[in-house]
Amino acid sequence: MTITAPPHASADLPTRAEFEAIRAIPAASRTEHQHELFERGFLRGPSSLAGAPAPQRGHLLAPPWASSGPAGTTTPSGLFVPGTALPAAEPHPYDERLLDLDSLWNTEPKPNPPYQGGILGPGQQASIWGGGKVGKSLFVLEMSLRLAAGLPFLGDEPQHGPVRVLYVDRENGNDDIHQRLYALGIKPDPNLMYLSFPESLVALDVDQGAAWLSRQIDRYAPQLVVIDTASRFVAGDENDNPTWLALYRISLVILKARGIASLQIDHTGHQPRLRRDEEPKPPMPRGGSGKAQALDEGWAMWSPPAFEGEVPAGIVRLTRVVTRSGLGRDDMLVRQLGRKETLPDGTERWARGETKHELATLQPPSGPMAKPTTPAEPWFDLESVIEALADKSGWPPPGYRQAESQAYRDDLAKAARWKRTPSKAMVSKALAEMNRRGAPE
């Protein structure tokens, strides 16, 4: 590697006295010419040493006026030979600290399991997106309450102890938050710090936002920052990729560099209407595709459009669409439990402490007339379709090519007493598996 000095003539370099005088001036008060002289002097040294030879191949340039090296000598040319200790250089705003790769190589990585619920882990940048009123904020609020108090969530025990959570909210009013806390029945731990509609913040994709975020980090020392909702915290157009790239470059990179996790809540964009024979796919977040580029984990909270309104009330699906680690769950059904109560004046509210989220399991039917033991969608399960096919048609199903028709699939759904019709792709897949096995199990 060859690093050469800037091609400036010695007459363009400051003398030592000039350099020291410029260095005494605050950087913000220096003129453009003084800035230029200071940079030249730092790279090449004062003009009293301007006649020094140029660096040779494989040598790095050090300031000629730096303190002596290990042997107690100062190299007039300002050359530094790799393999010896760097001479103490004058502090500079561009000085960076090298990552200690030897230390990383000589030690085993520490286990870094995710927080309860499996949505994200320490230091990761994640997002949950979903349609309006699907329950994103309520889900994340319960998760935040449980992380802060060190309580289990979605069947997961805490692996990191209580987590300091800073929840920044521009979506929900105080009444909404009050009602949700009452319904969840979890006493807020001091580790949960809530900023509701912060007035001093303009946006997080502008320079002022970086200064604001740094101030909150220094003041509250969070381990996780929740942003609800992401589109409420940007000044740029949410449909433009530069907006989300700026959000990461200006603000989220501060969290990433300090090992602080962040979770953005977001909305979904327009979803194309599916044909009847298409398998439903998880939606993507609204706006530019640049949103997902900086994420370690990205989750869609959704009810697949093909059976919206047919899944039992309170069931949503969480599908991991973006992952950097590839560890943990990729798909889960979550049941949103709660009970309404009627007050003496006739108004309703959610009963205290009876709102919560829990995992729902997929249970295949045990026979053609069976009902599910848990409110789940059976047609996610290939075995459920195979069982219904065998119960309806025998083995092999007579005239099984009729299975390609909508009428056959409608009859199949009725035979199994399920509301939703299995897709053509699912029936074809089940038939292929049945033919491969050759006989029912």
Measured between alpha carbons, how far is 173 from 155 in angstroms, rounded to an integer? Answer: 30
**pLDDT tens for residues 27-81?**
767 787 777 777 766 555 444 434 444 434 333 344 444 444 444 444 444 444 4
* 3-class DSSP assignment, residue 300: strand
Measured between alpha carbons, how far is 191 from 2 in angstroms, rounded to an integer? Answer: 51
* 294 or 12, which is more confident: 294
**pLDDT tens for residues 257-315?**
999 999 999 998 766 665 555 667 788 888 877 788 889 999 999 975 433 434 445 78
Least confident of 15-24, 132-141, 222-231, 318-327: 15-24
Measured between alpha carbons, how far is 177 from 174 in angstroms, rounded to an integer? Answer: 5
Give the CATH superfamily of 125-360: P-loop containing nucleotide triphosphate hydrolases (3.40.50.300)
Measured between alpha carbons, how far is 191 from 220 in angstroms, rounded to an integer? Answer: 9
Half-sphere exposure of 382 (CA within 13 A, CB side): 9
| Residue pair 263/120 in contact by the 8 Å Cβ criterion | yes
Q: Which residues contact 13 (CB under 8 A, 6 or more apart)?
A: 37, 40, 41, 44, 45, 46, 47, 50
Specify the pLDDT at position 10.
44
Model-level pTM? 0.64
Domain boundaries, the chain: 10-96, 125-360, 378-437
| Residue pair 395/434 in contact by the 8 Å Cβ criterion | yes
Left if phi > 0, otherwise alpha if psi is -120 to 50, otherwise beta: which for 232?
A: alpha
Specify the pLDDT at position 313.
55
